[in-house]
Amino acid sequence: MPVREIVRLGHPALREAARPVAAEEISGEAIQGLIDDLIDTMRAGGGVGLAAPQIGVGQQVFVYAAPESEPEIPLRVIVNPLLEPGGGELVYEWEGCLSIPDLRGLVPRHQEVRVRATGRDGEALEFDARGFEARILQHEFDHLNGVVFLDRMRDLKSLAFEAEWERFLGTASRSARAVE
């Protein structure tokens, strides 16, 4: 399975709404191959999530996995998602994006989301996610709607290059985890 090129900010695919995948298409070679490529490309890039528009494909598919996080977040394949935010205050954490390399910024997100989606075998998915997983889901869901984390920042003053973030901000932050 090939590792695909990740498109960067400025590529129109990152600013367009992705199309839903038709139910009968999910088991087909095109979507199954796309899913495999997303997984391989995410892993090659060292990210915890990757959405189809990030490899220039305008379809509602993303994958995520954070095997090194606490608690571990296993690999998930998400097709045609709907996200319903839980109540409560928004939480700020650092995020980055494979399509916006080398930058980090503080992004407010809902602590909990309910997800309704389709899985890679066409099965209906419904689950609640919280914390880091909820953050990844919101970040990747945004990619399907042409939204990137910079759009969600309330204050661009926290925007930092990774090297400077590591040097000046990383150790002071509550969490060194970042979404891609």
Active site residues: 140
How far is the C-alpha of 156 from the C-alpha of 140, rounded, in Å?
20
Instruction: Specify the DSSP element, H or E, that contains 33.
Output: helix 29-45
Residues 97-116 close enough to bind Ni ion by CB under 5 A: 97
Task: For the CB of residue 79, give the shortest distance to Ni ion in the complex, in Å.
Answer: 18
Nearer to Ni ion, 97 or 160 (CB): 97
**Under rule CB under 5 A, residue 6 binds Ni ion:** no
Q: Based on CB atoms, which residue is closest to Ni ion, 17 or 23?
A: 17
* Residues 87-114 as b or e (16 or more Cβ within 10 Å = b): eeeeebbbbbbbbbeebbbbbebbbbbe
Total interface residues for Ni ion by CB under 5 A:
1
CA angle (148 as vertex; 15, 100 as ends), nearest 5? 100
Residue nearest to Ni ion (CB): 97
- For Ni ion, give the closer residue by CB, 42 or 97: 97
Backbone torsion region of residue 43, taken as left when φ is above 0, otherwise alpha when ψ lies between -120 and 50, otherwise beta:
alpha
Cβ pair 145, 63 in contact under 8 A: no
CB of 95 closer than 8 Å to CB of 104? yes
Establish if 144 lies at the interface with Ni ion (CB under 5 A).
no
| Closer of 97 and 129 to Ni ion (Cβ) | 97
Region from 2-10, 73-81, 96-104, 129-137 binding Ni ion, contact rule CB under 5 A: 96-104
Q: Any contact of residue 78 with Ni ion (CB under 5 A)? A: no
Which spans of this chain sit near Ni ion (rule: CB under 5 A)? 97
